Structure 1
Amino acid sequence: MNAQDSSARPQVALARVEADGRILWTVRRGDEYSPLGITLSELLGLAADEARARVEQAHGGGVRPDRVLAPIDPHQEVWAAGVTYLRSRDGRIEEATDGTPYDRVYAAERPELFFKATGARVIGPGGAVGVRADSPWNVPEPELGLVLDAAGDLFGYVAGDDASSRSIEGENLLYLPQAKVYTASCGLGPEIVPAWLAEPPFAIALEIRRDGALVFSGSASTDQLARGLDELAEWLFRGIEFPDGVVLLTGTGVVPDADFSLLPGDEVAVDIAGVGRLVNGVMRVGRGGGART
């Protein structure tokens, strides 16, 4: 079972697992997995007090997971916020042909929000996130994910990786969707920690290993965010409804130096204290191509 080390896991979390050929949502307490009885989409459609009661009433164990899957239903969506940390602003300016828009959005009232992935495209723990074959400069972006219910209220937290092409985004801001949305560009997991069992700020750490050797490490804290978590959630729900809930990645405060790029075969670990440790491999995705003629 590709779960994280039990000594580092939160004591209670929601896990989507495969067991005996079935995919189930469970509540994990220690090493005991109990059926939740409904999907995450259904849970996030309930009133907040009802959703909490469903989680707290899930007892009895009985599930023996063969695999821990990405903690999201296939039809749910992941969105993301950008330029929410000072280091992220500086990194975007560093890569961009014109960094002025990043400087402006960092201080603006309205945040940068963008679509990232459907649940069916999200990579779970132990899977491989992608780097684009047509991009020479690719990085992971370790981020705290907010699991929001249908009303836009916070239900829980999850660790995420907003894998990105810095070369494509830096070439032209209109290329942002191509830099952010592609095969295996989003990692989530390993589990969702209910909001009533965890409290920010959260320390976020990133480690990248190549052939077993540590080639990059960095850390940040969510108390360095330029915007409040509730503020980001409120802006997302201003223009769109999510009747099945949604995951909102809140931006990264860890940006590798300009001379670093992910390579296929690397191992990426996103560790958010009190939330979870997400470990993924790296693979090349898409088709390479030369310049247009």
Structure 2
Amino acid sequence: MSAIVPTEGILLGRARRPGESHPVVVTVRDGAVLDITAKGFASVRDIAESDDPAGYVAAAKGEAIGALDAILANSWATGTDDGSPSLLSPIDLQAIKASGVTFVVSLLERVIEEQARGDAARAEALRVEILDLIGTDLSELVPGSETAMKVKETLIARGVWSQYLEVGIGPDAEIFTKGQPMSSVGHGADVGLHPVSSWNNPEPEVALLVSSRGSILGATLGNDVNLRDVEGRSALLLGKAKDNNASASLGPFLRLFEGDFTLETISKADIDLAVTGEDGFELKGKSSMSQISRTPESLVKATIGAHHQYPDGLVLYLGTMFAPIQDRDGAGKGFTHKLGDTVSISTPTLGTLSNRVRLSTECPPWTYGASHLMRDLARADLL
């Protein structure tokens, strides 16, 4: 596992600061967290929409609000606010979008979910059957290509065509709304599972920060919490499976592209996942961005352009190749979360995002939205 925060790079985030009604915009320098909130640059959205976000953050004057290590420790959810500074999700007014079925392993697991109709007990047998039936290496297919279309025709003829295979190898990517602006949670916060679910998992991903102009500005880590049984019953339940209280985690900071840290760096990254349960269970996995079947640039273009605008920009989860199948409660039962699990997602260039799993009904309710932020910033004369 990498350090919680990378030791280099231009970092941008948000924090709760004692004495301030509004979240403050922060960066990290020399082991300290600096409040760089300023009039006209009082939100991450404002900075992202500026002419040179990385240059602005690198040069911005700020006031230290605490040591980085202390603030990271304060950020772990305890259910109480003791008045110490703590990290929030590093985005604010951006739309929260996600792309699905962008890796072959994820693609096959979605097909299994659909065929199993949400029954985890049937998943292993179906996994063997479907892999044998496909009989080709889908990782070599270019979505939308002539070869991919021939595979599609073969699968239809054999009666196993799936809506997930359509977005996995077809011409159009799956892009959906993961959550509303201001609804994501940050490092140390509880992440939420809808109480109806009994088969669910984390989804360790890279998420890109994108301006309203479609420019890709930087990246962070994300947990696209998913309810496998709910989505498996019907893809029309995607909203219920994906968008619940505290179900979108991002952080710990955005790292803005500059110098040697580029989108190419992200395209080669390996994303590590560790789940540690209060029952002593441990799961480890890895998701390699080099195995993604649609490029990050193509996913951004599928999201924003002449067909769809986002005036406050967006953050885009890029999808995961990791779908945990390790048995937890006995042979053939596969993996599902238990309350109290700690999920850590990491890569050296972006750090480590850690959260604790709770029910969405027991996580702190989402009560601070865009209207609250605007009113608080106006009262502080920061707009």
Normalized against structure 1, the TM-score is what? 0.89
Once residues 184 and 14 of structure 2 are traced to their aligned partners in structure 1, the CA distance between those partners, rounded to angstroms, is 13
Shift of 1:51: 2.0
Q: 1:41 aligns with which of 30, 45, 52?
A: 45
In the TM superposition, 1:74-89 aligns within 5 A as 75-89=93-107
More deviation in 6-15 or 217-226?
A: 6-15
| Residue 156 of structure 1: aligned partner | 218
Following superposition, the deviation at residue 7 of structure 1 comes to: 7.1
Tell me whether 1:90 sits opposite 2:165 in the alignment: no
Q: Report the count of equivalent residues.
A: 281
Deviating more after overlay: 207-216 vs 133-142: 207-216
Which string of whole-angstrom CA distances, capped at 9 and with x for unpartnered residues, describes residues 228-257 of structure 1?
111111110033211211100000111101
Change (3 A) 1:158 1:20: same
Q: CA deviation at 1:60?
A: 5.3
Q: Which residue in 2 is equivalent to 1:252?
A: 320
Matches within 5 A, 1:217-236: 217-236=284-303
Counterparts in 2 of 1:7 and 1:88: CA distance versus 1, 3 Å: closer
Identity %: 27
Cα distance in 1 for residues equivalent to 2:299 and 2:196 = 32
Structure 2 counterparts to residues 63-142 of structure 1, below 5 A: 63-64=65-66, 66-73=85-92, 75-97=93-115, 100-142=162-204
State the partner residue of 2:240. Answer: 178
Matches within 5 A, 1:186-265: 186-196=248-258, 198=261, 199-200=265-266, 201-211=268-278, 213-238=280-305, 239-257=307-325, 259-265=334-340
How far apart, in 2, do the equivalents of 1:147 and 1:91 lie? Answer: 27
Render the CA deviation track for 1:49-68: whole Å, top value 9, x for unaligned.
x3232112124553325211
Compared with structure 1, are the counterparts of its residues 212 and 15 closer, same or farther at alpha carbon in structure 2 (3 Å cutoff)?
farther
Would you identify which runs of 4 or more consecutive aligned residues in structure 1 move more than 6 Å? none
TM-aligned CA deviation for residue 12 of structure 1: 3.4
Matches of 1:7 and 1:196, distance apart in 2: 17
Q: Judge conservation of contact 1:92–1:99 (CA < 8 Å) in 2.
A: no
Q: Structure 1: state its 5+ residue gaps.
A: 288-293
Output aligned runs, 1:10-25, within 5 Å.
10-22=8-20, 23-25=23-25
Q: Which amino acid aligns with 2:60?
A: A
CA distance in 2, matches of 1:108, 1:158: 28
Give the counterpart letter for 1:79 in structure 2.
K
* Paired AA for residue 41 in structure 1: R
Indicate the RMSD between aligned Cα atoms, in angstroms: 2.1
1:59-99 Cα distance to aligned partner (Å, 9 max, x none): 455332521111111x3321000000011001101111376
Cα distance in 2 between the residues matched to 1:31 and 1:244? 30
Q: 1:269 to 1:280 in 2, by over 3 A?
A: same
Inter-partner Cα distance in structure 2 for 1:34 and 1:132? 36
Task: Check the 8 A contact 2:3/2:348 in 1, yes or no.
Answer: no
Deviation at 1:225, TM superposition (A): 0.6
Distance 1:119 1:30 in 2: 31
Task: Indicate the SS of the match to 2:323.
Answer: coil
In structure 2, relative to structure 1, the CA distance for the partners of 1:52 and 1:207 (3 Å cut) is same
Distance 1:99 1:280, change over 3 A: farther
SS at match of 2:312: coil
Instruction: Compute the displacement of 1:19 (Å).
Output: 2.5
In proportion to residue count, which structure has more strand? Answer: 1
Question: What is the SS of the residue equivalent to 2:308?
Answer: coil
Matches of 2:284 and 2:224, distance apart in 1: 16
Check conservation: 2:247, 2:360, Cα contact below 8 A: no
CA distance in 1, matches of 2:276, 2:181: 27
Quick one: distance in 1 between partners of 2:281 and 2:9?
A: 29
- Give the 3 Å change call, closer, same or farther, for CA 276–214 of structure 1 in structure 2: farther
* Alpha-carbon distance in structure 1 between the residues aligned to 2:161 and 2:343: 28
Secondary structure in 2 matching 1:96: helix
TM-score, scaled relative to structure 2: 0.69
Aligned-partner Cα distance in 2 for 1:135–1:60: 44
The more displaced of 61-70 and 236-245 is 61-70
Larger Rg: 2
> Once the 2 structures are TM-superposed, how far is the Cα of residue 108 of structure 1 from its aligned partner?
1.6
Structure with the largest fraction of helix: 2
Structure 2 CA distance, aligned partners of 1:9 and 1:86? Answer: 33
